[in-house]
Structure 1
Amino acid sequence: MKLPQGFAKENDMRVCKLNKSLYGLKQASHNWYQKFTSSLLELGFKQCKADYSLFIFRQNKCFVAALIYVDDVIMVGNDVGKIRHTKEELDKRFSIKDLGTLKYFLGIEVARTKDGLVLSQWKYILDILDDCGMQGCKPSPFPFERNLKLDKGSTEPKADANRYRRLVGRLLYLQDTRPDIAYSVNVLSQFVADPRQNHMDAAYRVLRYLKGTDGQGILLPRDGRHDLTAYCDSDWLGCPFTRRSRTRYILFLGGAPVSWKTKKQSVVSRSSTEAEYRSMASTISEILWMRWLFKELDIVLHKPTRLFCDNQAATHIASNPVFHERTKHVEMDCYFVRERVESREVQPLRIDTRMQIADLLTKGLGSQNLQFLLDKLGTRNLHAPT
């Protein structure tokens, strides 16, 4: 623990003595979770196997689900009486505070429109801009310059490391409703150990982009379709330091994005096909988890999940065993993907590169391409001028 700023003098060797943790003992969180879980189980809820923080009550036509995050709880269902009874019972045990209809949860705002629900982090973005003194900055039409390759910047002046890490950490949480900045944040997070001025300038460009799109969020359509679709992509040898590729995927439920990821692969791929195939295997793992979760929610997916990939060789390998000899170095992924294709849980399809939505997570795009993919993504800006 460090002494407060302004209290310590230069070369001060004093340290802080910890009398009591702010949240009690280190076992407190575990005991809280155990207590809350047992309370819901006593009320007839069952713990979801796909997600242990989700609890489901199902009896005849009555359905209620409770999703918990530490001491924050969201409850949804088709029986208002059961929801009210559950809240009353929990209030007897924990003295809860009922905030009414869901409007704000963990920094995510929930707005109701005629088309459905819009999830955004408008206030959170304004707080970031205010904290960085960027309220009056000039907006940028895109978050990351095209073809920009950030290096370690050993000749650049050092930036304020604490400020840079704080900013990148807040941008990481902002990705929950903004997949359009996922690639930018993925690149910026590689330099938190030794940030330089060129890294800070790139981070400020992301803030300038957020300034012009602060009200943008994800639209969850009202029609409630249950078709699950996925897009996967990779950039071969995308990291200039380790030459590892990046895995990118995005999953849609009923036309609304519900899961996305951009992450550097653990090994160096020897070909673009291998990089794409590893990305495909990671995407299928997420698809299987989503299908498992839907099954517990009584959502039946009769058709295989369509997986769109813009690499023709990867889609051929997934369906055609003839290509197996060319992929001995990715043998495990080959068996895993092909097994799911043969069981008709996943259907790999090729898509034109220009229509690949996962490009949002793969590289910096110009304003026109970015807006085109955002329209396909189904985003909505509630604060845009009409």
Structure 2
Amino acid sequence: MKNNGYNKGGIDKTLFVKNVKGKLMIAQIYVDDIVFVGMSDHMVEHFVNQMKSEFEMSTTGELNYFLGLQVKQMEDSIFISQSKYAKKLVKKFGLESATHKRTPAATHIKLTKDESGTDVDQSLYRSMIGSLLFLTASRPNITFSVGVCARYQVKV
């Protein structure tokens, strides 16, 4: 990519950007998936031809799903959702009959150890926290609550 005039992202090393006379071509490469967008049809065609000449590659058209994110492209915006992933989590952890809350957790309550409580399955708890951390990509409203829960992954 660098040989073709792309600059590697400073923080995200899988992101590549090419600027030609103020027009951008952006490519996100993750293992064997590439998501790309360009400000001109010519740039996009050139990118596809470059990739096909170096790699065995097929294009699947408009992006609908990437790394667990559902992507809906509209004329003037892009909508990202993880509703399918969230529903899968609810089922995976057997919470279909649980009641939902509008606010994930109160921010003013101080958590303390329940000395008389029963220990939880550490593996299951870590699995839940990891799954929820991935969900925060599209649900920033749960980030605080998931972060608080993540602090209590280790039995003290």
How high is the TM-score relative to the length of structure 1? 0.37
Partner of 1:82: 43
Answering whether residue 73 of structure 2 is matched by residue 112 of structure 1, we say: yes
CA shift in 2, pair 1:115/1:75, >3 Å: closer
Partner of 1:45: 6
Answering whether residue 93 of structure 2 is matched by residue 132 of structure 1, we say: yes
Q: CA deviation at 1:44?
A: 2.9
Partner of 1:381: none
Partner of 2:113: 152
What is the alpha-carbon distance in structure 1 between the residues aligned to residue 10 and residue 118 of structure 2? Answer: 50
For the pair shown, which has the larger CA radius of gyration, 1 or 2?
A: 1
The CA deviation string for residues 292-316 of structure 1, in whole angstroms up to 9 with x for no partner, is xxxxxxxxxxxxxxxxxxxxxxxxx
Answering whether residue 152 of structure 2 is matched by residue 191 of structure 1, we say: yes
SS at match of 1:153: coil
Partner of 1:72: 33
Opposite residue 150 of structure 2, the aligned amino acid is: S
SS at match of 2:34: strand
Q: Is the 8 A contact 1:68 1:74 kept in 2?
A: yes
What is the alpha-carbon distance in structure 2 between the residues aligned to residue 165 and residue 159 of structure 1? Answer: 10
Answering whether residue 141 of structure 2 is matched by residue 180 of structure 1, we say: yes
Identity of aligned residues (%): 28
What is the alpha-carbon distance in structure 1 between the residues aligned to residue 17 and residue 107 of structure 2? Answer: 46
* Correspondence 1:286-305 to 2 at 5 A: none
Q: CA deviation at 1:61?
A: 5.2
Partner of 1:330: none
What is the alpha-carbon distance in structure 2 between the residues aligned to residue 60 and residue 113 of structure 1? Answer: 26
What is the alpha-carbon distance in structure 1 between the residues aligned to residue 106 and residue 85 of structure 2? Answer: 24
What is the alpha-carbon distance in structure 2 between the residues aligned to residue 114 and residue 42 of structure 1? Answer: 33
Opposite residue 109 of structure 1, the aligned amino acid is: Q
What is the alpha-carbon distance in structure 2 between the residues aligned to residue 82 and residue 176 of structure 1? Answer: 29
Greater per-residue helix proportion: 1
* Correspondence 1:130-279 to 2 at 5 A: 130-145=91-106, 147-194=108-155
The CA deviation string for residues 255-301 of structure 1, in whole angstroms up to 9 with x for no partner, is xxxxxxxxxxxxxxxxxxxxxxxxxxxxxxxxxxxxxxxxxxxxxxx
Query: Highest relative contact order (Cα 8 Å, sep 6+), 1 or 2?
Result: 1
Q: CA deviation at 1:176?
A: 0.9
CA shift in 2, pair 1:144/1:115, >3 Å: farther
Partner of 1:56: 17
Opposite residue 104 of structure 1, the aligned amino acid is: Y
Aligned length: 156
CA shift in 2, pair 1:57/1:115, >3 Å: closer
The CA deviation string for residues 56-114 of structure 1, in whole angstroms up to 9 with x for no partner, is 22223543111223333221111223212322322332312322112211111122346
What is the alpha-carbon distance in structure 1 between the residues aligned to residue 124 and residue 85 of structure 2? Answer: 17
Q: Is the 8 A contact 1:43 1:86 kept in 2?
A: no
What is the alpha-carbon distance in structure 2 between the residues aligned to residue 135 and residue 170 of structure 1? Answer: 16
CA shift in 2, pair 1:50/1:132, >3 Å: closer
Q: CA deviation at 1:180?
A: 0.6
Q: CA deviation at 1:118?
A: 1.6
Opposite residue 64 of structure 2, the aligned amino acid is: K
What is the alpha-carbon distance in structure 2 between the residues aligned to residue 89 and residue 112 of structure 1? Answer: 25
Q: CA deviation at 1:159?
A: 1.0
Query: Which runs of no fewer than 5 residues in structure 1 stay unpaired?
Result: 1-39, 196-386
What is the alpha-carbon distance in structure 2 between the residues aligned to residue 190 and residue 63 of structure 1? Answer: 41
* Correspondence 1:294-373 to 2 at 5 A: none
